[in-house]
Amino acid sequence: MFTNVWYVAERSASLSAEPIKVRMLGCDFVLFRDKTGKAACLSNVCPHRGANLAGGKCRDDGSVACPYHGWRFNRDGQCVRIPSQTQPDKIELPQAKVDAYPVIEKNGLIWVFLGDEPEQAAPPFDIPEVGDSKYRQIDVNEVWNCSYERAVEIDLDYVHSHFVHGAFGEEHRARPPDHVVEDFSEHGFATHLIAKSQPNRGLWRLLRKEGKGVPSYLKFKLPGFCRRVQVFIGGEGSKMHFAFYHFATPIDDEHVQNRLLFFRAFMTHPFFDKTNIKRNEQAIREDRKICEEIYPKSPTVARDWEVQTEHDHLVGAFHRILRGMREKGWQIDAKARREMAADNKPLLIPSPARRKTPAGWAFPAVPRIAAKAVRAQAAE
Ligand code: FES
Ligand SMILES: [Fe+2]
């Protein structure tokens, strides 16, 4: 898993006046709203005696109060009140602070930057379909019992659509139409292709022209580990199109929180939701079964043992982006983390404040694989 990425931590609608606990990258965080209603994210471990901050309360001064002895922490992670002191507002303990993470809330999602180098990362992007009356939006949230990497890969894989979802008819049609990796950068890439449409049956007769081909556009965006897919079932530029966004937030090495946003520009009346949800849920179930049974369960440090075919180039591009982050020293060292965890001391995701002030924190940061070690390994 990687630090220095913007992740989708929660949907806006799920965060109201009470703090909530969210687990990401194998650590717990507290999300809350300050007095202006702005979302904030802190490490969930109270530096006093380790209590669960999310079990506390939001206070009028915009802080979150620990449920154990009432210490209050503001959105910057500073302790602003220790009620049991003679002078509760005079805080002189240097370690009375928690990691605070940058937060951006937009389009109904709460994004949190988990790392210490925000200036290096691609920021959260806009989702123009949200609130656009041309579209009907449906949301799905699901935890899968697998690494987030597996959840990303399956959306980048054209061939699985035939074998997992029974798409495209005969087996020879599982071979993808030509498509290449476009606009590759350390923050994502794109591709587009024109699938041969299947013979129209039932309702599809109304929706698409026979034999026209179905253009689809896919983007992988590193923020949120997001795949955006847009499919013009009625032909290029047609009103008959849908788009979906699939965000994958790593809960830990073996669990991923999937958040999907489906937008359809046709049959937008809520009456059609049921059929739409049923169809999407079936596809999600089929993907999930495959992903939860892939070996090994946890991501390998460098997934360099797979047999790649010419049609695995999108998955290969995704792995290249992961390699790039590994070379920057952003990958959490799972082995060292397990060893350190034997001491039972909480290990936290380092926040930007740790880079400015490395000392004076109650709990250590998770170990990461140093960029140097990665380069030495690559040179071997
Ligand atoms: S454990 Fe949080 S205030 Fe004591
Ligand atoms: Fe799928």
How sure is the predictor about 136, in pLDDT bands with cuts at 50, 70 and 90? very high
* Consecutive H or E run containing 335: helix 334-341
Do 55 and 11 have their domain in common?
A: yes
pLDDT on residue 179: 94
Do 234 and 347 have their domain in common?
A: no
Confirm whether 105 is domain-assigned.
yes
Distance from residue 359's CA to the centre of ligand 1 (Å): 21
Burial class (CB in 10 A: 0-12, 13-18, 19+), 70: middle
Domain that holds residue 376: 1-122+337-380
pLDDT on residue 369: 95
Q: Is the confidence at residue 212, as pLDDT, over 80?
A: no
pTM for the predicted model, two decimal places: 0.95
Nearest CA to ligand 1 atom 4: 69
Which CATH number is 8's domain given? Answer: 2.102.10.10
For 124-138, what is the HEC assignment? CCCCCCCCCCCCEEE
Confirm whether 127 is domain-assigned.
no
pLDDT on residue 218: 98
Do 201 and 70 have their domain in common?
A: no
Do 223 and 306 have their domain in common?
A: yes
Going from the C-alpha of 365 to that of each of 8, 30, 227, 281, the distances in angstroms are: 21, 17, 30, 38
Confirm whether 376 is domain-assigned.
yes
- From 275, 299, 322, the end of a domain falls on 322
List of residues 6+ apart from 140 with CB closer than 8 A? 258, 259, 260, 262, 277, 280, 281, 284
Query: Residues lining ligand 1, CB < 6 A?
Result: 46, 48-49, 51, 66, 68-69, 71
Tokens encoding 213: 């081909």
Nearest CA to ligand 1 atom 3: 69
Q: Is the confidence at residue 198, as pLDDT, over 90?
A: no
**What's the rounded Cα separation, in Å, for the pair 99 and 178?**
47
Q: Is the confidence at residue 147, as pLDDT, over 90?
A: yes
Distance from residue 354's CA to the centre of ligand 1 (Å): 21
**What's the rounded Cα separation, in Å, for the pair 40 and 54?**
12
Confirm whether 332 is domain-assigned.
no
Do 206 and 241 have their domain in common?
A: yes
Do 68 and 166 have their domain in common?
A: no
- From 322, 353, 370, the end of a domain falls on 322
Q: Which ligand is nearest to the CA of 229?
A: 2
Do 245 and 357 have their domain in common?
A: no
Q: Which ligand is nearest to the CA of 150?
A: 2
> Whole-number mean pLDDT of the chain?
93
Do 295 and 155 have their domain in common?
A: yes
- What would the pLDDT profile of 361-380 be if each residue is shown by its tens digit? 999 999 999 987 777 776 66
- From 292, 322, 352, the end of a domain falls on 322
Do 260 and 364 have their domain in common?
A: no
Distance from residue 284's CA to the centre of ligand 2 (Å): 7
**What's the rounded Cα separation, in Å, for the pair 97 and 366?**
17
- What would the pLDDT profile of 295-340 be if each residue is shown by its tens digit? 988 887 666 667 888 889 999 999 999 999 999 999 999 999 999 9
Residues with CB under 5 A from ligand 2 (ion): 287
Going from the C-alpha of 333 to that of each of 310, 353, 364, the distances in angstroms are: 31, 21, 14
- What would the pLDDT profile of 48-101 be if each residue is shown by its tens digit? 999 999 999 999 999 999 999 999 999 999 999 999 999 999 999 999 999 999
Q: Is the confidence at residue 152, as pLDDT, over 80?
A: yes
**What's the rounded Cα separation, in Å, for the pair 7 and 108?**
14
Tokens encoding 327: 């070379």
pLDDT above 90: percentage of residues in the chain? 79
User: Cβ(70)–Cβ(49) under 8 Å?
Assistant: no
pLDDT on residue 201: 66
Q: Is the confidence at residue 343, as pLDDT, over 90?
A: no
Q: Which ligand is nearest to the CA of 51?
A: 1
How sure is the predictor about 349, in pLDDT bands with cuts at 50, 70 and 90? very high
pLDDT on residue 202: 67
Do 20 and 80 have their domain in common?
A: yes
Do 302 and 259 have their domain in common?
A: yes
pLDDT on residue 205: 67
The CA-based diameter of the chain, rounded to the nearest angstrom, is 79
Which CATH number is 299's domain given? Answer: 3.90.380.10
How sure is the predictor about 175, in pLDDT bands with cuts at 50, 70 and 90? confident
> Interhelix angle for 313-327 vs 371-379, to 10°?
120
3-state secondary structure of 340: helix
Confirm whether 128 is domain-assigned.
no
**What's the rounded Cα separation, in Å, for the pair 304 and 275?**
41
Q: In this structure, what are the phi and psi dihedrals at residue 323, rounded to the nearest 5 degrees? A: -60, -40
Confirm whether 327 is domain-assigned.
no
How sure is the predictor about 200, in pLDDT bands with cuts at 50, 70 and 90? low
Confirm whether 275 is domain-assigned.
yes
Do 152 and 262 have their domain in common?
A: yes
Number of domains composing the chain: 2
Mutate to test the pocket of ligand 1, among 68, 81, 91 (most ligand atoms within 8 A of CB): 68
Going from the C-alpha of 267 to that of each of 98, 131, 137, 158, 271, the distances in angstroms are: 48, 17, 11, 26, 8
> Which of 246, 250, 241, 242 has the alpha carbon at shortest distance from 221?
246
pLDDT on residue 233: 87
Mutate to test the pocket of ligand 1, among 28, 46, 95 (most ligand atoms within 8 A of CB): 46
Confirm whether 129 is domain-assigned.
no
How sure is the predictor about 25, in pLDDT bands with cuts at 50, 70 and 90? very high
Cis ω for the linkage preceding 296 (within 30 of 0): yes
